[in-house]
Structure formats: C-alpha cells, structure tokens
C-alpha cells in the first residue's frame, strides 16, 4: 500500500518497532509522548540543514524555517512537503491539539498549532527523538 507521498507504507509489529527504535524513541514515535523542554538533542540547533524522520529517512523539516519560540523544543513554521505528513486530532491530556504523523508508518512527529501572531502562520513543535539531523 502506498502513502499519500507515493511511497510504500511501512508496517511493523510492536516488538519490531521496539527493537528498531529503543524504548525512548518508541514511546515518542508510537505513543506520541513528549520530551521535557530543553532536553532534546536538537532544541538549540541552528543552520540551514534538514531533519529526517528517524524511522523512514523522509526529509521533513528544514532549519531554514526553525525559530525560537522560547518553549525548549525545536519549533518550525512549515514542513518541507505536506504530502509527507498527516494531521490528526489529539485529545490526550484533555487538550485540543493537532498531532502530525508520518504518512509512511503513522509515527508521531510533532504537534502543530496556529497560535502565532499573523502573518507568521503555524508552529510545528517537534520532539528531537523523532528525527535525525542531515547536514547539507
């Protein structure tokens, strides 16, 4: 089966994901857990490079769209290609949030909100554990 970006979907069992990812990444990617602020390895990364999905290597975010929102998480104003993500309602913790997942395997990527002042647009708040950094 193909994802909306035209590539093959990835399907693994829970034990396969746990073995591949390790427990920390597994909790982030498969259960949508969130890192504590100022603890992720990329929260203070700057430059012009790219973040890839930690599981399928899809390019998702560019440091060109990263900005400091003062939250302690990497924050971006846009994804590289909307076809590479899916947005879903996330009612966990009694909040009305929008979760962003990878279209290839449904892994948690980020939460997105539109709470930035106009004309700035959206704010993608990511977990470092969900991504790998790729230097250009």
Q: Which of 53, 102, 125, 130 is catalytic?
A: 125
* C-alpha closest to that of 105 among 29, 44, 41, 49: 29
Q: How far apart are CA 38 and CA 74, in angstroms?
A: 9
Determine whether 125 is an active site residue: yes
What DSSP line would sit under 32-58, residue for residue? ---PPTT-STTTT--SS-EEEETTT--
Rounded to whole angstroms, the Cα distance separating 52 from 99 reads 17
Q: 1: Cβ–Cβ under 8 A, 6 or more apart, which residues?
A: 8, 9
What does the DSSP 8-state code read for residue 109? E
Between CA 119 and CA 100 the distance in angstroms is 22
Q: Which residues are catalytic?
A: 125
């Amino acid at each position: 089966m193909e994802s909306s970006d035209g590539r093959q979907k990835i399907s693994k069992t829970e034990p396969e994901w746990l073995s591949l990812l390790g427990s920390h990444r597994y909790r982030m990617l498969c259960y949508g857990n969130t890192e504590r602020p100022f603890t992720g390895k990329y929260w203070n990364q700057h430059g012009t490079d790219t973040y890839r999905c930690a599981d399928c290597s899809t390019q998702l975010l560019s440091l060109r769209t990263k900005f400091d929102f003062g939250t302690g998480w990497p924050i971006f104003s846009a994804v590289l290609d909307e076809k590479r993500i899916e947005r879903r309602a996330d009612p966990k913790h009694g909040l009305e949030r929008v979760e962003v997942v990878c279209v290839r395997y449904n892994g948690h990527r980020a939460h997105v909100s539109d709470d930035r002042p106009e004309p700035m647009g959206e704010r993608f708040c990511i977990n470092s554990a969900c991504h790998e950094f790729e230097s250009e």
